[in-house]
Amino acid sequence: MPVELSGADGGDTHDPPAAPAALTAPAKAPPPTKNGRGRAHHGYVWSRARLIPASAPGGPRVIRAAAPPAGGPPAGPEDSEAGEPPLKVVTTRHPGRWVAALGVAVLLAMAVSALVTNPAWEWEVVGEYLFAPSVLRAVVFTLELTALGIVFGFLLGTVLALMRLSGNPLLNSVAWGYIALFRSVPLILQLLFWYNLALLYPRISFGVPFGPAFFDVGTMDLISPITAAALGLALHQAAYAAEIVRAGLLSVDHGQREAAAALGIPRTRQLFRIVLPQAMRSIVPTAGNEIIGLVKGTSVVYIMALPELFYQVQVIYNRNGRVIALLLVATIWYLVMTSVMSVAQHYVERHYGKGRA
């Protein structure tokens, strides 16, 4: 707006000096740009700008990047007064990952080809004996041994875990000694001890401890080979189960028991209704590994000439000489049994994991 100043000639008219651009109020923000060059803040959109100091030629000013036309292509270097290159989105590439995947795919294809094209595997013999009655009976017997070892092993292991957590030093020491002993001796050695127990004690007496015996039975009549196998598996498994259960019980916050005790809940009910369901979240994954390991561990009882899966295929291939094919039959059945158990473990874990964040 022109301003009139008084003077000798009756006054003169001058335009007011223009204020520097950097000292004026911020220019009104341009409309939002589509190429991301603008930045929104409290309803305003600011373009990329650069402040020129007062000492620079031409005085202080603000240089603002040119906004692209609506609906047009992004502004290039020639469109920007500052001459800055446009932003470019670069996709992250993983060449090493693709090379590794390609290598694994080639190795997998080679393995499958070696299994299918090599006639030495004798797949026709595998199909002949895979569902043979003697093999199926051996599979059932293997599952029975596994069930006996797991049930009695975890029952005894739970008792040992409670003894380890007991404040009584005698109970604690006995449980610690049992776990240390049975974890240190190999399973096959324990089975041989139980199988030959009659050599140490021909007869077993029942009566008052260190007192008169009411009756006795022969050890060979009381402990058959199947009983010795189940006993050895259960006692061996109890040592590992005790540590698994103890770890699960220790994983439950002690405040849970204190809160239950403050509400007057009996200790037995605290254990079975509050502590144990929470401890199962930690117990189930490790217990699943132990059960799967015991399925394969039952193959050790072949030294007792019991008709479990591994022993049965040995009997067959010693008769017909088809060693690889019969070993492959045992491998397929072990794979099937452990896969079914892994699926069951998944659902059990999901059941006890309800409500976990």
Tell me which of 280 and 52 has the higher pLDDT: 280
The tens digit of pLDDT for each residue in 74-109 reads: 554 444 555 677 888 888 888 899 999 999 999 999
Instruction: Kindly report the number of other CB atoms within 10 A of residue 308's CB atom.
Output: 25
Tell me which of 226 and 209 has the higher pLDDT: 226
Q: How far is it, in rounded angstroms, from Cα 300 to Cα 309?
A: 10
CA distances from 109 to 101, 102, 117 (A): 12, 11, 12
Instruction: Tell me what pLDDT residue 97 has.
Output: 92
- Pick the closest to residue 322 from 127, 115, 113 (CA basis): 127
Confidence of residue 17 (pLDDT cuts 50, 70, 90): very low
Tell me which of 278 and 64 has the higher pLDDT: 278
Phi, psi of 56 (to 5 degrees): -75, 155
Instruction: Tell me what pLDDT residue 6 has.
Output: 42
Q: What angle do CA 270, 275, 281 make, to 5 degrees?
A: 160
Q: What is the torsional sign of CA 95, 98, 102, 108?
A: positive
Tell me which of 72 and 61 has the higher pLDDT: 61
Tell me which of 298 and 7 has the higher pLDDT: 298
Instruction: Tell me what pLDDT residue 243 has.
Output: 94
The tens digit of pLDDT for each residue in 146-198 reads: 999 999 999 999 999 999 998 899 999 999 999 999 999 999 999 999 998 88
- Pick the closest to residue 47 from 73, 78, 75 (CA basis): 75
Tell me which of 163 and 43 has the higher pLDDT: 163
User: How confident is the model over 39-46, as a mean pLDDT?
Assistant: 45
Would you state the structure tokens that stand for residue 287, as one six-digit string? 């217990």
3-state helix, strand, coil in the chain (%, to 5): 60, 10, 30
Instruction: Tell me what pLDDT residue 103 has.
Output: 96
User: How confident is the model over 122-143, as a mean pLDDT?
Assistant: 92
Res 60 pLDDT > 60? no
Instruction: Tell me what pLDDT residue 207 has.
Output: 83
**What share of the chain has pLDDT > 90, as a percent?**
41
User: How confident is the model over 274-283, as a mean pLDDT?
Assistant: 88
Instruction: Tell me what pLDDT residue 69 has.
Output: 52
Per-chain mean pLDDT for the chain: 80
122 phi-psi bin (left φ>0, alpha ψ -120 to 50, beta other): left
Q: How far is it, in rounded angstroms, from Cα 295 to Cα 335?
A: 10
Give yes or no for a contact between 223 and 231, defined as CB atoms under 8 angstroms apart. Answer: yes
Res 144 pLDDT > 90? yes
Q: Which amino acid is at 291?
A: I
Would you state the structure tokens that stand for residue 33, as one six-digit string? 């740009």
Give yes or no for a contact between 182 and 157, defined as CB atoms under 8 angstroms apart. Answer: no
Instruction: Tell me what pLDDT residue 44 has.
Output: 44
Q: Which amino acid is at 140?
A: V
What is the total residue count of the chain? 357
